[in-house]
Structure 1
Amino acid sequence: MSRTSDLTDGQWARIQPLLPSSDGRRVRPFRDDRRGVEGIIYRYRSRIAWRDVPAEFGLWQTI
């Protein structure tokens, strides 16, 4: 696994149906859920502050 990829495709397939869906929304669809979930996992594994999460996971305020 790389630094920014903690979930396997099988694990993601189990988690994805549990997340909110943007289907049927008239406004902008949700962003990439996997990147946000992996950002949360990275933050808790490395025990860093939210502001120190690497930029490849997106803005720290939106993870």
Structure 2
Amino acid sequence: MTRRRFDLTDFEWAIIQPLLPNKVRGVPRVDDRRVINGILWRFRTGSPWADVPERYGPYTTCYNRFVRWRKAGV
């Protein structure tokens, strides 16, 4: 995978990954790392959620996980 400017490094991911809740759901999940990179992209660019590039997963997934993780204190 090519690392983009907004993407987490392996070192950063190793720190963040254990902090995320791992709740199993019925639908296959978009990879948490991709979603976090999408969340970071959104805040670094100041773009609306709907403009999050598809490579990070659906923008609704990025938004919903951001809200869920924020409520969980992540």
Q: Do these two structures clear the TM 0.5 threshold for a shared fold by scoring above it? A: yes
What TM-score do the two structures reach when normalised by structure 1? 0.79
What TM-score do the two structures reach when normalised by structure 2? 0.68
Q: How many residues align?
A: 60
Point out where structure 1 has 5 or more consecutive residues left out of the alignment.
none
Structure with higher helix content = 2
Point out where structure 2 has 5 or more consecutive residues left out of the alignment.
63-74
Aligned Cα RMSD in Å?
Answer: 1.9
For residues 4-43 of structure 1, what are the alpha-carbon distances to aligned partners after superposition, in whole Å with 9 as ceiling and x for unaligned? x521101100000000124xx4845543100000000000
What pairs up with 1:23-34 in 2 under 5 angstroms? 25=24, 27-28=26-27, 30-34=29-33
Change in CA separation of 1:57 and 1:26 when aligned onto 2, cut-off 3 Å: closer
Largest Rg, 1 or 2: 1
Q: Percent identity among equivalent residues?
A: 48
